[in-house]
Amino acid sequence: MGSQPKLSIFLTKDEIEAAVKRLAAEIRREYQDKYPLLICVLKGSFMFMADLIRHLDFPLEVEFIRLSSYGRGRESSGKIKAVQGLRSKVRGREVLVVEDIVDTGLTTGFLLDHLRQKKPTSLSLCALTDKPSRRQFPVTIDYLGFTVPDKFLVGYGLDWGEKFRNLPDICLLEVEE
């Protein structure tokens, strides 16, 4: 028999929506006249990005890239793959990376270094959640939704073996062995 995951709500969809609106207001203040390039890191950030830009009522561009570090399990493999899907010109742009979670920081750190080499005018990071207790690589988060404990979270884009991304709330997942 396989293990059965148990879910409990950690952040409700209303709490997430309030955080998204707050972040959008902060981002609008900084970027409304700058025609920024927002880079969504797939897959986990797709829902956050879609909700965030609905509250950004000024000209911007969006880009979607892949950069996976987790395998199918719950722990980061620490293996960083190449950046895939970046077609927009980054040089001279005001770039804002949009992440669902910063955990060890290895993925985001790698991506920010990669983008920095392309000489954007500015490079900032917006993350819905941050798990600082897990950090192995220092990452500065410019726009943060929630600081979260070292628990496994799913929903609102976050997965467990590709499941639960569709949950509207962010839930705590416990696996009973």
Residues near ligand PRP (CB under 6 A) are 41-44, 68-70, 76, 99-108, 159
| Residue nearer to ligand PRP on the CB measure, 70 or 152 | 70
Contact criterion met (CB below 8 Å) for 104 and 136: yes
Query: In the bound complex, what is the minimum distance in angstroms from residue 50's beta carbon to ligand PRP?
Result: 14
Query: In the bound complex, what is the minimum distance in angstroms from residue 79's beta carbon to ligand PRP?
Result: 10
Residues belonging to the chain: 177
User: In this structure, how many other beta carbons lie within 10 angstroms of the beta carbon of residue 161?
Assistant: 12
Active site residues: 103
| Residue nearer to ligand PRP on the CB measure, 106 or 170 | 106
Nearest to 93 by CA among 125, 61, 50, 66: 61
CA 68 – CA 174 distance, rounded (Å) = 23
| Residue nearer to ligand PRP on the CB measure, 7 or 32 | 7
The CA-atom distances, in angstroms, between 21 and each of 28, 55, 83, 115, 169 are 10, 7, 29, 26, 16
Query: In the bound complex, what is the minimum distance in angstroms from residue 2's beta carbon to ligand PRP?
Result: 20
**Residue 87 phi/psi, 5° resolution?**
-105, -20
Query: In the bound complex, what is the minimum distance in angstroms from residue 41's beta carbon to ligand PRP?
Result: 5
| Residue nearer to ligand PRP on the CB measure, 32 or 144 | 144
